[in-house]
Amino acid sequence: MDAVVMAGGKGARLGKDEKPLTLLCGKPLIQYVLEALLGSKNIERIIVATSPRVKRTNEWLDDFKKDHHEIEIIHTQGAGFVHDMIGAVEEAGIRGRVLIMMADLPLVTSGLIDRIIEKYFEVNTPALSVHMKLDVFTRLGLRPDTVFHKNSDFIVPCGINILDSESIREEQEDYNLILNEEELALNVNAPGDLAVCERFLEDRG
């Protein structure tokens, strides 16, 4: 399966110029994500979708991919998440299923990515979206931007989806995979999120 990493965002809420290059324990957020994907046994190509807003990220990626030939860069228009995601999938010529992932999920592991992909093929729906229960975020002291009500519970999207690239411009039947791993809740949107990630990594050693 190919993966598309969405990395075209600015870091306005973080007080940074470019979100993907925001440092967490001395390493850019996007590097954590790329290393997790590179370690996945189910991922073949990795396409990073950037935008005109992240010039330094493009330069960093040009250097990083010299040693990682599985990585390709697609320069999108920066016209919005959905528009840029569709453009990246089509320009990269992806066929079959594709994993879409945000560049601000630094604590996601290769093992988690493989579990998500394996579950996708078990449920046999065109699309899968990864969520967590709201109480996981509450326990971590985080306030998510988006919350959905499902089956008498509240769930939060985690920024990882699998889609059928052949129908990328259409709405697809979606399976909500609800996981409990705190690593999935730790996406970085604000300085407080970055501090929680730092504490998590320190506790994990």
Q: Report if residue 48 sits inside a domain.
A: yes
Under the phi-then-psi rule, with left for phi > 0, alpha for psi from -120 to 50, and beta for the rest, what region is 113? alpha
Residues 2, 77 contacting (CB under 8 angstroms): no
The Cα 74–Cα 192 span in angstroms is: 30
Please tell me the pTM assigned to this model.
Answer: 0.92
Q: Report if residue 57 sits inside a domain.
A: yes
Q: Report if residue 52 sits inside a domain.
A: yes
Q: Report if residue 65 sits inside a domain.
A: yes
pLDDT in tens, 62-100: 999 999 988 999 999 888 899 999 999 999 999 999 999
CA distances from 100 to 76, 94, 187 (A): 15, 12, 15
Q: Report if residue 142 sits inside a domain.
A: no
Q: Report if residue 186 sits inside a domain.
A: no
Rounded percentage of the chain residues whose pLDDT exceeds 70: 97
Q: What is the CATH number of the domain that holds 56?
A: 3.90.550.10
More confident residue, 43 or 79: 43
Q: How many domains does the chain have?
A: 1
Range of the domain at 58: 2-129+159-174
Residues 59, 35 contacting (CB under 8 angstroms): no
On average, the pLDDT of the chain sits at: 90
Kind and range of the H or E run holding 179: strand 174-179
> What pLDDT does residue 198 have?
87
Number of alpha carbons in the 13 Å side-chain half-sphere of residue 88: 32
**Residue 11 token pair:** 């870091």
